[in-house]
Each structure stands twice: as C-alpha cells, then as structure tokens.
Amino acid sequence: MFGVLQTSEAKRIARERNLDLVEVNPKASPPVCKIMDFGRFKYEEKKRQTDARKRQTKVEIKEVKLRPKTDDHDIDFKVKHIRRFLEEGNKVKITVRFRGREITHPETAQRQIDHIIEHVKDMGAIEQHPRMEGRTMTAMLAPKVKPVAKPRTAEQREPAAAD
C-alpha cells in the first residue's frame, strides 16, 4: 500500500521491481492501480476459471416414456431406471403418450405417474405435477438435495470404554 502517488512515481516503482502498473478501478477518484506481474495474474485467473469449470456439474433431463397400456412389470423396470437417474443427479421427465382412443382415459396415465412417484419419493421431489399437453401427460422429478453430513466429534467416534 503506497497510498496516493503521481502516475510517474508509480510507473517508476513498478519499473524498478520489474512489475506492471495495472489500473484496477478507473472510475474511482483518484483511479486505483496495483503493481503486479500482469502475465502471472492472467495465468492464475485462467487456471481458476478452468478449475471452476471442472467442478461444475451439468444436470441433464432424462426422459422416460410410457403408454397407458404399459404393463406393471415394465413400469417397475422403468422405476429402477428413474431411481438410477436421480442417484446420478439428473432430472427425470415422465411422459405418457396417448394414441387413438386412449385419450378418453387420462386417469390411467395419472395412476401410472402416481405409482412411479410413490416408488421414488424417497429420492426425488416433484418439480412439475402431472399435466396434459395435447396427447401427452408429463411430470418432472428432480433429485432431492442430500443433507451435508456434519463432522463427528471425538466422543462420537470412540465410545466410552466399559469398566
């Protein structure tokens, strides 16, 4: 921290130390500058951005398609897939497609979706309740947020020795 300096004085100090004079906030009065190695600063900034990109997780929407006449065993099989998708942290879109005269009985699709939701309610939360869109009924499930485990204390790790 050098305080308020003349521009020429700040440039001279930077040159003596083989560093750069970088303007940090030009709108301040007086403008704020830093004496630093600008190349190294840019390199470290790029590294931070790539590390942040690596840690970032992408949530995909997986779709499970059914028909109103889909059998119970097939639905149970689809439930296994939905559970796996939710474990992986993906959202799941359940789609029941109606063909022909099946559209007259939307309650069968509602029952199927309710059955699926009932079997995965421990892992997933309903993000969008079942609703009709044309000839399809859709619902969206999102993975439940897992609570962060608290670190255990020494007393919890080692039970007291019995005499």
Please report, rounded to a whole number, the percentage of residues in the chain having pLDDT higher than 90: 48
Domain 7-49 sits in CATH 3.10.20.80: yes
Pairing outcome for strands 61-66 and 91-97: parallel
CA–CA separation, 102 and 49 (whole Å): 52
Over residues 20-34, the mean pLDDT reads: 87
Q: What is the pLDDT of residue 73?
A: 92
CA–CA separation, 104 and 109 (whole Å): 11
Q: What is the pLDDT of residue 161?
A: 52
Largest CA distance in the chain: 85
Q: Which fold has domain 61-143?
A: Translation Initiation Factor IF3 (3.30.110)
Q: pLDDT-derived band of residue 163, with 50, 70 and 90 as boundaries? A: very low
Where are the chain's structural domains? Answer: 7-49, 61-143
> Does the pLDDT of residue 148 top 80, yes or no?
no
**pLDDT 10s digits, 68-120:** 998 989 999 999 999 999 998 899 999 999 999 988 989 999 999 999 999 99
Average of per-residue pLDDT values in the chain: 86
Single-letter code of the amino acid located at 64: V
Does 7-49 match 61-143 in CATH topology?
Answer: no
